[in-house]
Structure 1
Amino acid sequence: MVYPENAIDKLGFLEIKNLIREKCLSESGRQMVEKIQPQARYEQIDRFLRQTQEFKNLLQHDTPLPVDHMYAIQPLAEKAKVEGAFLSEDEFFHLLLSLRTVYSVIQYFNEREGQYPYLELLLEHLPVEKSIIRGIENVLDARGKVKENASRLLLELHQQILKNEQEARKRLDTVFRNAQANGWTADGGTTIRDGRLCIPILAENKRKVRGLIHDESATGQTAFIEPEEVFHLHNKIRDLEFERKREIIRILVELTNTLRPHVPLLFAYHGLMTKLDFVRAKALFAMDIDAVMPVLNREAALDLVNARHPLLYLSSKQDASHTVVPLNIKIDQTDRIILVSGPNAGGKSVCMKTVGLFQLMVQSGLLVPADERSSLGIFKQIYADIGDDQSIESDLSTYSAHLSKMKHFSLFADAKTLVLIDEFGTGTDPQFGGPIAEAVLEKLNEKKVRGVITTHYSNLKLFANNTEGVQNASMLFDNQRLRPLYILQMGKPGSSYAIEIARKIGLPKDILDLAKVKIGKQQNRVDRLLADLERDKKETHDTKLTIRKKEKELEALKTEYDTLRVHLEENKKDILRKAKEEAKDILKDANKLIENTIAEIKTVKADREKTKLIRDKVNQSLHQHTEAVKKNIPQKATSAHSELEVGDWVRIDDTGAEGEILEITRNDSLIIALGSLRTVVKKNRVTQLKSKQKSKAIKRQTTVSSESIADFHPEVDVRGMRTEDALQKIELVLDRAVMIGYPSLKIIHGKGDGILRKFVRDYLRKYNHISRFEDEHADRGGDGITYAFID
């Protein structure tokens, strides 16, 4: 797919792989990084990209993945697969730690089912076989050593060893105290030599103690003697230890035999952890370079927006004085080949390498440091001619090596090929190199090849200007300060600025004048024209940036204005609605006031003084209502809402449902308990229940709940039923159990071939209210019955 093979290295892809490999936790993950190659299948590339993106999101926004222990499982499984072989204590301990990590990872994704769909594909529905862990834990202790009580015989041997060691220590102490009393001992106490207890005796007294000399001090003044009183005890201890080792080996062999049927599953676990480690490393590298997932297309095209070369970007993060100028380039059906020209050290090669490296990274499932609007297609072939490939062994000069590649490009490139050529046509006499390069470029264009080509040749710039499918582009250059800007400008060729750069370096004026004469008037005019175009283009570019900035400011102001206008419109409607409600309330109150006033006047029989007092009272009430209208305060609604408190019972106006207020949120919403259900409604959608209504509502809910619990039977039998009917029946019973808060459900599905059991448990895994499920006891049906526990 990539030609020649060293093009991957020259584009910087091997360095990218090395950086990713450093992020891996396991050797198998590092080996997987080594095998990264660009792919050509859309579905495969899309899956790899999405897995990396999901893992990046997990690392940035979720709790860390539990990958504390990543010991390689595959070599242990390979060893356990061999009949007669057994794993050592350390190997079983490493396997135990790795399996705990595997099961924690599987549980992690099960708890987040549906949140990371592409990472879940790596799990491949692997079961959690906890019997493996239980078997190892029954044998090994927390330090990874075989437990003293792993078997009855081992416990007996351990106790006998302790007993004999205590007896040997007791006898040795007696001999040592006797030797001390006679002044035969050296400084220090009893010690161990060659696994046996010894006492230190001065060299001149070593014949006075009967026993075996095991060692002596560096000076030869002290001998370490094992007294004959403990010979037989030490020998017995040694025999018991040999027997203990044999028993341990027997236990490990037996444990390995129980592990052997699970070897295929262990291989699958190893594959899972290797892939997760691999994807994790890619995600960590993506975070280092601030990479995103671009839009992936099936067509052979690309559109890079604010693309940054990843290696240069990492260097700039370490050295703040260096900045990376983003690249914007588009290759499509219309502009298939981009011919980039401009001054040396202006960024032409970096532009071309960025395009090639991005394409390799995306087709290898790696995220890229660019804007999310960037899009990349899929190329079946990537051809690159970069740098000097002269070879003494092949008797090839630099130009011959270039021509060999051009031959391959011309013969095998097609519309699905991305061609990258640096300094096209150089390495020979420009009088011949230019026309040959132009002929090759014409041939590639006829074959609808896509690519990026850098050059200084004027004939190629003219060819691109007059040929459909080939587009000129240049790296912008500040011709006043004589420094590159590293910005790609599409649509026009660039000058090499050879004379200007030579003048800046300080080449003598007479040499520059002579060079201008030799270059020729026509070429000088072309270079001056290009320089003028560059200056005009830069001014236009700066003007566009200023206009774009002003447009953004104007757009922000317009958005703010629209938001305020909508807000005012909404407030206006709300104010009018509240005013209408207030007006209705005022009319009702006014009518009541008038009726009460008339009644009072009749009562006092139109007494002048009392009538005056009643009139003043009426005027005062009217004044209060008028002030309320002016202030636009919906008194009734406000007071009604402010009276609501946690624990009040209310009726939802539009549904008629009644419940208790559990919480009042900041945005004037209510969280209401409707039996075992919860709902959220606005304050203005409920009516507070009075004492009698509240009592009736509580009684109704209690009666309904009691009847439901009394009538509910927490067992469902689906034996012999079709899968669809069985799941439907289970769903009905489960829903009712959740509604009344029942803690568990017994599902009888039978054993048979295990098909119905599998579908039932797959369904339970997707049911949000199921916290866990397990088999019935073996004596009462075993895996023919499933107990589902409800949150």
Structure 2
Amino acid sequence: MNEKAFKTLEYNKIIDLLTEQAASPKAKELCRSLKPMTDKAKIEAAQTQTADALTRLFQKGSVSFSGIHDMEASLKRLEIGGTMGIDEFLALSSLLEAAKRVKAFSRGKSEDGARDSLDDLFDGIEPLTPLLDEIRRCIISEDEISDDASPALKNIRRSIRSMNDRVHSQMTAMLNNTNIRNSLQDGVITMRNGRYCLPVKAEYKNQVPGMVHDQSSTGSTLFIEPMAVVNLNNELKELYLKEQEEISVILANLSNLTSEYIPYIREDYRILTELDFIFAKASLAKIYNGTAPIFNENGYIHIRKGRHPLLNKHKVVPIDVTLGDAFDLLIITGPNTGGKTVSLKTVGLFTLMGQAGLHIPANDRSELCVFHEVFADIGDEQSIEQSLSTFSSHMTNIISILDHVDEHSLVLFDELCAGTDPTEGAALAISILSKLHARGIRTMATTHYSEIKVFALETPGVENACCEFSVETLSPTYRLLIGIPGKSNAFAISGKLGLSADIIEDAKTRITTSEQNFEDLIADLESSRVTIEKERLEINQYKAEVASLKKKLEAKQERLDESRDKILREANEQAYAILKEAKDVADTSIRNFNKYGTTHAPVSEMEKQRSKIRDKMSAAEKNMAGTKKKQAPAGNAPKNLRIGDRVKVLSMNLTGTVHTLPNARGDLYVQMGILRSLVNVRDLVLLPDDTVPAAAKKTNGKSGSGKIRMSKSASVSTEINLIGMTTDEAIAVLDKYLDDAYIAHLPSVRIVHGKGTGALRAAVHKHLKRLKYVKSFHLGEFGEGDAGVTIAEFE
């Protein structure tokens, strides 16, 4: 498609918004190069991918594609036997972490378990966890290799630390020597060229025998390496060289391991960038509430409540546009600033966006046609450089459009043939539109010419439309009304703005009778339309009310029918039971009567039988009176619990604090010292704030340990912040905190030390290695604080 239409319809601005949604450089490049397609199958496939990604965003939330790096140069070097550096391995680690994160996002299908268009892409991702874990194990940061990367490196670094201690011990002894100390500028040990030196005053250089490595800018201080530590420094230097050699070996081994996964790494990068691109389209659709349009190749357009994506979504007025079915040429008229150009741009921009695989901000079931070209002549085309007037520039563009247009094109004209004599301009515009209409080319045009309005009324397959305007408020409503020609309202607007009435009346006498009648006809049509629209809205409202009342009445009738059937059923059951009971009594009486025969029945026996019957009648009478069974008294379960409230667990006869709020079933966790148990709210009694457990009041020696643990468990936080402290301060605070956390039986803690220069982090890691009760520690992962946080786990 022609680039001029992209600029005219502001498609490039949509691409800029799309590019902002992508995270990786390659995905941004794909966004910038996105162009509308003309193959219906490819368009629908792209729309399906966007729709499926949007569904996943609504179901699972957003997914981060950060950290996707192009590793092609590094992989090519591996293929020819080269090795990768630390920075490259960190970039690869970031790529694999992104793969792992995106793969995890893909898990957990919808309830129906159906596959979508993105499943094959997600299935193709290989997180390469063994490689990722090995890189993480060996490389801590861009300037630090882990001691555990290899046994040799661990031994070398142990020797380096030992040698450093020996050098420091030797030089500290020299600092404590009074004769040497008086010769020093400062009582400190410094480093020059990687060797330990002492700052000696120039006049006392003979007092400290050794090698001069540097001097101050003034020459008053010489940095001398004492002869006593030269050999130690030499050995230290050799150890540092061995350390670098071992690091090179480690990187070479990692490179060999990585070379085995080259095809998978390339495929991961390709899939991640493609998914990043697809989810960028979905994110953009989510921002402006877009939907997937239905595409056809029959030249039919039906946009339902379309909203221009570059306008404020809270203020833009939705429009309905139809073209290509009953008519293929739509003429839009109305006053300036009424929304005619926006309507034109909306149709053109929706076409470009839809064919590029982007959702459009419109209601569901909006339809678009697949066009091979979109031509637009919109805006001020005046060219000073080419000495062209506005009319000449527009006409040059129109001629170019007529030369290249075909039956698969969409043509958009804004103020066709304006800027010249109205009579000639209208005639020329009608001729251009007639030629396009005769070829069946889908065309939309805006105009002020009355002649074009008449042309639309008289010509089959051509339809008028207008952008509604309120003369009372002198403001447009921006509603597009198809089937009604618009009125310029020049006289009405001028009068509202204060133009003298005699001037307006004089102007009215200067237009022809036919023009006046046509404008009056349009005004009558507009008045009738407004009246019909109001009546239609009222009718629809009445219909909705009637439908609602009918639905309520039907529901009420259904409930009554159900209630009646239930009452009749229960009555029949009760009647049957009564009859059965009466029959049983009668049968018993007859049997008794027959048993006595002609002899006289004992009065006491007959009285007993009668008493039984009377008791049954009394019981039945009570049931009829509606005597209700006493209900169990309501429970005294505490309400409005808050985290931290003190409660007593009745079943355990223990007190504790509320750790979580009750769920729908009333279950919650209560912390009772080191015991954390799931109980029901009905098993709790809320205690006053000043209630102190009996165990806490004991002061004998036997309960001391328990009191400490209870206190620690209730007060120790799972996180400590060391940012802003010096190394010595931080280690002292950290050491006490770790002791408290371990005593409180916390499984793990979070140590916040920040990134900075890395000195505080290194000191924390060094201290953690010395603690026997620390099982393991690692830097925070994505979402936990990254390299600014260390997670420590206890034995």
Paired with 1:506 and 1:365, the residues of 2 have a C-alpha distance of 50
Shift of 1:569: 3.5
Q: CA deviation at 1:453?
A: 1.4
What is aligned with 1:101? 98
Matched, 1:618 2:618: no
How far has the Cα of 1:128 moved from its partner? 4.9
Does 2:132 match 1:133?
Answer: yes
2:224, 2:30 → 1: CA distance?
Answer: 58
2:35 equivalent in structure 1: 37
Change (3 A) 1:298 1:603: farther
Residues 323, 329 of structure 2: 8 Å contact kept: yes
Structure 2 residue 79 is matched with structure 1 residue 87: no
**1:359 and 2:351 aligned:** yes
Is residue 524 of structure 1 aligned with residue 516 of structure 2? yes
Deviations 1:519-543 (A, max 9, x none): 4343233223323332332232222
SS in structure 1 opposite 2:145? Answer: coil
- Alignment map for 1:504-583 (pairs within 5 Å): 504-509=496-501, 511-583=503-575
Contact 1:390 1:397 in 2 (8 A): yes
Q: Residue in 1 aligned with 2:250?
A: 251
Distance 1:306 1:243, change over 3 A: same
Q: Which amino acid aligns with 2:132?
A: I
Structure 1 counterpart SS, 2:121: coil
Tell me which amino acid in the other structure corresponds to 1:380: H
Distance 1:266 1:76, change over 3 A: farther
Q: How much has 1:70 moved relative to structure 2?
A: 2.2
1:433 counterpart = 2:425: yes
2:67 to 67, 70, 77: 70
Task: Return the alpha-carbon distance in structure 1 between the equivalents of residues 128 and 585 of structure 2.
Answer: 80
Deviation at 1:431, TM superposition (A): 2.2
Matched, 1:379 2:371: yes
Residue identity opposite 1:98 in structure 2: L
- 2:302 aligned counterpart, secondary structure: strand
**Distance (whole Å) between structure 1 residues aligned to residue 418 and residue 614 of structure 2:** 103
Moved more, 410-419 or 86-95: 410-419
8 Å contact kept, 2:281–2:358:
yes
Quick check: 1:84–1:253 contact (8 Å CA) kept in 2? no
1:405 Cα deviation from its structure 2 partner:
3.2
> Is the 2:180–2:207 contact (alpha carbons within 8 Å) kept by the matching residues of 1?
no
The residue number in structure 2 matching 1:388 is 380
Amino acid at match of 1:611: M
Q: 1:138 deviation in Å?
A: 5.0
Q: Which residue of 2 aligns with 1:422?
A: 414
Partner SS state of residue 440, structure 2: coil
Q: Which runs of 5+ in 1 are unaligned?
A: 317-322, 636-664, 667-791
Instruction: Provide Cα deviations, 1:326-380, integer angstroms capped at 9, x if missing partner.
Output: 1112223212222110000111111111112222222222222222243333222
Q: Is the 8 A contact 1:438 1:463 kept in 2?
A: yes
Aligned partner letter, 1:27: P
Structure 2: gaps of 5 or more residues: 630-663, 666-795
Cα RMSD, aligned residues only: 3.3
Partner of residue 163, structure 2: 164
Quote the Cα distance in structure 2 between the aligned partners of 1:36 and 1:597.
98
Which amino acid in 1 is paired with 2:147?
A: E
- Which of 361, 372, 380 is residue 369 of structure 1 equivalent to? 361
Contact between 1:52 and 1:366, CA under 8 Å: does it hold in 2? yes
Deviation at 1:517, TM superposition (A): 4.1
Partner of 2:635: none
Aligned to 2:231: 232
User: What SS does the corresponding residue of 2:445 show, helix, strand or coil?
Assistant: strand
SS of the equivalent of 1:123 reads: helix
Q: How does 1:754-769 map to 2 (within 5 A)?
A: none
Paired residues for 1:497-508 under 5 Å: 497-508=489-500
Contact 1:76–1:87 under 8 Å retained in 2? no
How has the CA–CA distance of structure 1 residues 239 and 407 changed in structure 2, closer, same or farther, with 3 Å as cutoff? same
Q: Deviations over 1:740-765 (max 9, x none)?
A: xxxxxxxxxxxxxxxxxxxxxxxxxx
CA distance in 1, matches of 2:178, 2:8: 80
Is the Cα–Cα contact under 8 Å of residues 179 and 185 in structure 1 kept in the other structure? no
Match of 1:782 in 2: none
Amino acid at match of 1:95: L
**Kept in 2: contact 1:77–1:266 (CA 8 A):** no
Measure the CA separation in 2 of the matches of 1:191 and 1:431.
Answer: 94
SS at match of 1:224: strand
Per the TM alignment, residue 599 of structure 1 is displaced from its structure 2 partner at its CA by: 5.2
- Between stretches 337-346 and 92-101, larger displacement belongs to 92-101
Q: What CA distance in whole angstroms lies between the structure 2 residues aligned with 1:546 and 1:221?
A: 99
| Partner amino acid, structure 2, of 1:200 | P
Corresponding residue to 1:7 among 5, 9, 28: 5
Once the two structures are TM-superposed, the CA of residue 435 in structure 1 deviates from its matched residue by 1.3
Deviations 1:9-65 (A, max 9, x none): 222222222222222222222112112211223333223223323333333332553
Per-residue Cα deviation, 1:551-573 (whole angstroms, up to 9, x for no partner): 22222222222333334334444
User: How far 1:471 sits from its partner (Å)?
Assistant: 0.8
Per the alignment, residue 454 of structure 1 pairs with 446
> Match for residue 56 of structure 1?
54
Match of 1:260 in 2: 259
Question: 1:401 is matched with which residue?
Answer: 393
Deviates more, 1:431-440 or 1:620-629: 620-629
- Kept in 2, the 8 Å contact 1:73–1:269? The answer is no
Match of 2:337 among 335, 345, 348: 345
- For residues 389-412 of structure 1, the C-alpha deviation after alignment (integer angstroms, 9 at most, x for no partner) is 344555544333322333343344
Query: Cα gap change, 1:71/1:519 in structure 2, threshold over 3 Å: closer, same or farther?
Result: same
Match of 2:175 in 1: 176
Counterpart Cα distance in 2 of 1:380 and 1:150: 59
Aligned 8 A contact 2:471 2:493 in 1: no
Query: What TM-score comes out, normalization by structure 2 length?
Result: 0.71
Retained in 2: the 8 A contact 1:193–1:214?
A: yes
For residue 625 of structure 1, report the CA deviation from its aligned partner.
Answer: 5.9
C-alpha change, 1:74 and 1:590, in structure 2 (3 Å) is farther
Query: Paired residue for 1:770?
Result: none
Which amino acid is the alignment partner of residue 18 of structure 2? Answer: I
**Separation (CA, whole Å) in 2 of partners of 1:600 and 1:200:** 130
Q: Distance in 2 between matches of 1:589 and 1:544?
A: 67
1:33 & 1:470 partners in 2: Cα distance?
Answer: 38
Helix, strand or coil at the partner of 1:292: coil
Q: What does residue range 642-653 of structure 1 map to in structure 2 within 5 Å?
A: none
> Share of identical aligned residues, percent?
31
Residue 197 of structure 1 aligns to a residue whose secondary structure is: strand
